[in-house]
Amino acid sequence: MNIYPVILGAILLMTSLTSFSKDQQAISNANMAPPVIEGKSWLLIDNDSGAVLSAGNPDKQIEPASLTKLMTAYIVFKELAEGRQSLDDRVIVSEKAWRMQGSRMFIKVNSKVRLEDLVKGMIIQSGNDATVALAEYVAGTEESFVGLMNAVAAELGMKGTHFVNSSGMPAEGHLTTAADLAILTRALINQYPEYYKYYSVKEFTWNKITQGNRNLLLYRDPTVDGVKTGHTKSAGYSLIGSADREGMRLIAVVTGTKSKLARADMVQNLLNYGFRNYITKKVYPAGKMIRKIDVYKGVSDAVSVESADSIYLTVPRRGSTKITQTVTVPAYVIAPVNSGQVLGDIEFSVQGTSLGKYPLTAVAEVPEGGIVDQLIGTVMLWFADF
């Protein structure tokens, strides 16, 4: 049987992460069928390869509710990583933040709260008050912060997403998709692992009030270390779960279910399905030299090409998983060649089904040669047999 489209093209672990393509080949899978999911949309992907292992309506726009806080966290983590903010910063709580309804951390107006405590309040307690306080601290106003959210969403390739607020409170036009949420989650985990740790914390106490993490999978599956729940009456119950088993990490997104238990069960079923039926292999590390290409009219007569990023492939655990590769590069190039210039690609396949093409880039710069190099190159091209 065939499952929904499978392997993403190039693995892009930084802000160049792109949305999931609709026209990717399906990979033959002789294993068990994906679980039945009763929600508005869902998606299961491998974190390293980006392989889509199961999906339903992944591009359907839905209300994200508190899943919105993943983007708020992503931007705060970016600020911390780039040194513009510190976990020890003291944040003054505005009246707007204090008055936020829904789930709250119960911070007091005009009080000064450590930024790290606000992060914990936003992630563990899903506090709307903590979220707005963080947004205002980073950008001055929540409205300005929302502009950052939408700009980052565009950079990440979240094509079906538009934010109206930082917390996920119901608002007209505040929408995203399961595919976009997977892109965001993958970026957050891969780019900011030092801050992702907060998503596995089971409870947090503030103002003498202890609140538990709403992600039920943290209490039932030791391999699960995140990520986030969301709920409003109109959005239903949603959950993004991620687990790491023996070095393989999967991300499951389920939106619009009927209860807390249902969303947890469905995400658990997706994760179990993925781990039982697939395995991810690291084919090449970042910077692996793949081939040399002749260079004419340059200061050097050859240039090596590499896979700039690590290449991971996800294949079924059972059946034939022999991976074949095809390298496509030109017979020669003419100088100048820039370092990082794309000069071809490498494609992987299993049983004739493509697992994706990955760009091959020049390892080093090859400047244009002098007059002698130019003349020699011209003569050699006359007599070359390609």
Catalytic residue status for 69: yes
Residues across the chain = 386
Catalytic residue status for 41: no
97 sits in which H/E element = helix 95-98
In one-letter notation, the amino acid at residue 35 is P
Q: What are the two backbone dihedrals, phi and then psi, of residue 117, each rounded to the nearest 5 degrees?
A: -65, -35
What letter does residue 227 receive in the DSSP assignment? E
Q: Is the dihedral of CA 239, 181, 139, 142 positive or negative?
A: negative
d(CA 221, CA 268): 9
Catalytic residue status for 66: yes
Q: Which residues pair with 325 in a beta bridge?
A: 348
Q: How many CB atoms lie within 10 A of CB 84?
A: 10
Give me 299's structure tokens: 């200061």
19, 41, 49, 66: the catalytic one is 66
Nearest to 313 by CA among 364, 363, 251, 355: 355
40, 69, 78, 297: the catalytic one is 69
d(CA 361, CA 356): 16
Triad 355, 5, 182: Cα angle to 5°: 100
| DSSP codes of every residue in 264-302 | HHHHHHHHHHHHHHEEEEEEE-TTEEEEEEEEESBSSSE
54, 103, 126, 307: the catalytic one is 126
Alpha carbons within 13 A on the beta-carbon side of 109: 7
Residues with catalytic roles = 66, 69, 126
